[in-house]
Amino acid sequence: VPELPEVETVRKTLQDLILQKTVRDIDVFYDRIIRRNTPQEFKSILEGRTITDIGRYGKYLLIHFDDITLVSHLRMEGKFYYKEADNPKEKHEHIIFYFTNGMTLRYHDTRKFGTMDIVQTNDLYSEKSPLSNLGLEPFDKRATVTYFQQKIRNKRIPVKGILLDQTILTGLGNIYVDEVLFLSHLHPETKATELTKLDIKNILLNSTKVLNKAIKLGGTTIRSYTSSLGVTGRFQNELYVHMRKGEKCKVCNTEIVKSKVVGRGTYICPKCQKPTR
DNA sequence: CGTGTCACCTGACAGC
DNA sequence: TGCTGTCAGGTGACAC
């Protein structure tokens, strides 16, 4: 459940389920998910508090308890489930929040890559927060061509690496980067230094389009073993290239090919995305 | 400072 | 059936 549209879908679902719920108790079964506090501190800070809002920035989920915020990153496989307290603990449930109404919120993470940080709400975008180094979301009004150009100054890595770098734009992951590059007619190996103003304009426009459409469809569900909290999206039917190796390009009928770019599985249409123009 | 590599974990799947 | 290697929608630490 990792890229911006999937996290947004989780946010909306949680908003309906856990707003105004009060935490009675917390069980932590795997310590390393909690980064800035010991599990004991984590428990004592949150127990007795009431959830006042659920937000999101980039791929981070923000569970607000008034003046403090639980900043959660789902990484590769993090999921939240909302269940009755008497449900048995499942193998990959690592943190369980017990609410005063007899329900629980359970953090489930097969690979244990996810993270949680407690931050003062006032410090959310300061150095004390994991959000401090993130770039703008693509649909932010301030995410202009000039902003992007300034961020990629001195960078000569492939454009795929640029779009995966959360300190430049935040929210895109491997799926949506492949889609944005396809829609922008850009080969993923194109060097950042070779991007024209028009290329950047296209990248920003297509990032916004793809993310908004994916949010509308509830995100993308690929390789999802279980249907997590509100995360059975429908955007997978809209994909042009990602996960479509061997299938025909929806625009020109050429076969989609898979390669590796900046260490990541990468899908392109070799006709629509030429290396040089 | 920028870039490349590896580490963090577990499970699914392909090939022998 | 096993075993082994590879891969997975992400990021952070580290060496150069």
The nucleotide closest to A192 (CA, C1' atoms): B2
Q: Residue A277 pLDDT more than 70?
A: no
Q: How far is the CA of A224 from the C1' of B13 (A)?
A: 15
Is A86 a residue whose pLDDT tops 80? Answer: yes
Which tokens belong to A158?
A: 């492939």
Amino acid A126: pLDDT: 93
Q: How would you class A126 by CB atoms within 10 Å of its CB: exposed for 0-12, middle for 13-18, buried for 19 or more? A: exposed
Choice between A272 and A228, residue whose per-residue pLDDT is larger: A272
Predicted pLDDT of residue A226: 52
- Is any atom of nucleic acid chain C found less than 7 Å from the CB of residue A3? yes
Å from the A253 CA to the C12 C1': 40
Buried/exposed A137-148: b ≥16 CB within 10 Å, e otherwise: bbbeeebeeebb
> Could you give the CA distance from residue A5 to residue A25 in angstroms, rounded to a whole number?
30
Catalytic residue among A21, A56, A59, A151: A59
A59 is catalytic: yes
Q: Is the pLDDT of residue A146 over 90?
A: yes
Render pLDDT for A150-197 as a digit per residue (tens, 0 to 9): 999 999 999 999 999 999 999 999 999 999 999 999 999 999 999 999
| A3 a catalytic residue | yes
Token reading at A104: 């629980």
Mean of all residue pLDDT scores within chain A: 94
Radius of gyration, alpha carbons of chain A: 20
A177-CA/C9-C1' distance, Å:
11
Q: What is the pLDDT of residue A232?
A: 78
Q: What local confidence, expressed as pLDDT, does residue A228 receive?
A: 61
pLDDT of A229 strictly over 80: no
Nucleotide nearest to A3 (CA to C1'): C9
Question: What pLDDT, on a 0 to 100 scale, did the predictor assign at position A276?
Answer: 73
- Residue A230, pLDDT above cutoff 80: no
Residue A82 has pLDDT above 90, yes or no: yes
Are A233 and A226 contacting, i.e. CB atoms less than 8 angstroms apart?
no
Q: What pLDDT score was predicted for residue A231?
A: 64
Residue at minimum CA to C1' distance from nucleotide B11: A110
A264 carries an active-site annotation: yes
Is a pLDDT exceeding 80 seen at residue A118? Answer: yes
A220 touches strand C (CB under 7 A): yes
DSSP state letters, A159-215: HHHHHH-TTTB-S--HHHHHHHHHHTT--TT-BGGG--HHHHHHHHHHHHHHHHHHH
Residue A2: the pLDDT is: 76
Give strand B nucleotides closer than 7 A to any protein Cβ: 1-6, 8-12
Minimum CA–C1' distance nucleotide for A157? B3
- Residue-wise pLDDT for A95-106, tens only, equals 999 999 999 999
How many Å from the CA of A142 to C1' of C9? 26
CA–C1' gap, A162 and C15, in angstroms: 22
The yes-or-no verdict on residue A54 having pLDDT over 90 is yes
In the complex, which nucleotide's C1' lies nearest to the CA atom of residue A112? B9
Q: Rounded mean pLDDT of A2-19? A: 93
Q: Is residue A271's pLDDT more than 60? A: yes
